[in-house]
Structure 1
Amino acid sequence: MNHDDLLEALKIAFCYMPKAIEVTRYEYGDRTDKVLEHINTVREALLEGGIDPEEVYGDVNPELTPNSTY
């Protein structure tokens, strides 16, 4: 698997991860800090790969992402 394939796999996985704002002690209990750490690690890896984590979902699922007009 090459670097581009690994970044694509990371993008897909990121789409299925919870958003940091959704991670609460109620839902994740004692694992909350660890889950937030994992989310941050993936975000940093995407950024290092030149990928904006905020744009990942639209890149992976363009048919489900509304078009914006400015």
Structure 2
Amino acid sequence: MTEVTRDELLEALKIAFCYMPKAIEVNKYEYGDRYQTVLDHIQTVRETLLMSGIDPEEVYGEVNPDITPNSSY
């Protein structure tokens, strides 16, 4: 197996982040007793993206530019 570069790891993290639920969507009804763990995981990924100079709010549009609406501002 070949060694993965930092850029490849960040790209994989961005893609995975796109499929994660938004924190506002996580609740005890949907996730049961694991809801706090799920929120912690989301926060860990967000913080890792931020520490890497990546704005989590911009990730979806970067990964999926063909299906992301243009900004209105």
CA shift for structure 1 position 40: 0.2
Consecutive unaligned residues in structure 1, runs of 5 or more: none
SS in 1 for 2:42: helix
User: Alignment partner for residue 53 of structure 1, among 34, 37, 56?
Assistant: 56
CA shift for structure 1 position 54: 0.3
Task: State the Cα RMSD in Å.
Answer: 0.8
* 1:22 paired to 2:25: yes
Q: How many residues align?
A: 70
Q: Give the TM-score of the pair, scaled to structure 1.
A: 0.96
CA shift for structure 1 position 29: 0.7
User: Alignment partner for residue 64 of structure 1, among 57, 62, 67?
Assistant: 67
User: Alignment partner for residue 45 of structure 2, among 9, 26, 42?
Assistant: 42
- Letter aligned with residue 9 of structure 1: A
Identity %: 74
Q: Give the TM-score of the pair, scaled to structure 2.
A: 0.92
- Letter aligned with residue 45 of structure 2: V
- Runs ≥4 in structure 1, deviation > 6 angstroms? none
